[in-house]
Amino acid sequence: MYSIGLAIHLQEANVPFAMISPLEIKKSLGMHRGKSDFIDAKRIANYAWLHRDDIKPSVLPAKSILKLKTLLTLRDRLVRDRGGFEATCKEQRLLLGIADNAEVFEVYKSMIAHLTTQIKNLDAQILSVVDNDVALKKTYDLLTSMKGIGPVIAANMITSTHNFTRFTNWRKFACYIGTAPFEHTSGTSVRGKTQVSHLANKQLKKLLHLAAISAIIHNKELRAYYKRRVGEGKSKMSTINVLRNKILARMFALINRQSSYVELAKYPV
């Protein structure tokens, strides 16, 4: 949010620039002490100089994708606010009762209804942005042809991948959103479990988790895979993570093939 205005200006002026994650720079510094604007600027400049051969210029996505991202960010905030009101309302209904606190619950009901209306309005705006861009519309239709992938996941995939131009394959994207498992061993003494990293795009990871749960219920092929793997003694959570990666791989395959999803379970061999 703080850098996007400058980035847009630099791109329009044809000035090369690079947008680097602050965490990446911080992790590269090693042990350091003290902090001020002057010191931070010096450290950023030093990082840029040391990595000048590896840093690639950034290219902002199309304006439609930037607008889509803004709408999705606002939508996510409203959904979380509505969830907070719903949870508090439910708790107070159980503790206080409705009869003696009717006015309080009317306010809760009004706020929840208002937020629901605003979320629906945002959904309409999101679809409008997609419909008015031919490239985004094509990607959106391909993604939503797959069971378990709805408008919200499709729109978030488009913004996170810059319409599937930011990542070359699904494995790199799995690493970015935190569904790729990593080994944790060293020599003969450290034998930790293979697990995902906490450094992740948690919003999209949460959405893919919901897609995996939906697939277990509605997708015959993935439901059979889930039951078989859990029946073999594998943990439910690790199996759900495998499903998340399967869904991710299929989405990238749809875009690479430029063809809609085909449910193979409908065509028995």
Domain for residue 158, yes or no? yes
Using DSSP's 3-state secondary structure scheme, residue 168 falls into: coil
> Sign of dihedral through CA atoms 78, 163, 241, 20?
negative
The total domain count for the chain is 2
Is 27 within the bounds of a domain? no
Over residues 186-238, the pLDDT tens digits come to 777 766 777 777 877 888 999 999 999 988 988 888 899 999 999 999 989 99
Q: 3-state DSSP call for residue 103?
A: helix
241 and 166 both lie in a single domain: yes
Burial of 118 (0-12, 13-18, 19+ CB in 10 A): middle
218 and 232 part of one domain: yes
User: Is 246 a member of any domain?
Assistant: yes
**219 and 244 belong to one structural domain:** yes
The overall average pLDDT reported for the chain is: 89
With respect to residue 14, please indicate whether it lies within any of the assigned structural domains: no
- Confirm whether 123 is domain-assigned: yes
Q: Which of the listed residues 112, 132, 152 is the one where a domain comes to its end?
A: 132
Q: Are residues 69 and 159 in the same domain?
A: no
User: Hey, which residues does 156 pair with through a beta bridge?
Assistant: none
Does residue 91 share a domain with residue 68?
yes
**Structural domain ending residue among the three candidates 116, 132, 148:** 132
- Interacting residues of 152 by C-beta distance below 8 A, sequence separation 6+: 72, 75, 207
CA angle 154, 6, 74 (to 5 degrees): 35
Which residue do the tokens 């697990």 mark? 195
Domain of residue 251, residue span = 134-184+200-262
Poorest-pLDDT segment among 120-124, 224-228, 244-248, 258-262: 258-262
Q: How far is it, in rounded angstroms, from Cα 172 to Cα 193?
A: 21
The answer to whether 68 and 129 are in contact (CB under 8 A) is yes
Looking at the predicted structure, is the pLDDT value of residue 31 above 90? no
The C-alpha atoms of residue 62 and residue 1 are separated, in whole angstroms, by: 16
Q: How far is CA 66 from the centre of its chain?
A: 15
**Where does the pLDDT of residue 265 fall: very low under 50, low under 70, confident under 90, or very high at 90 and above?**
low
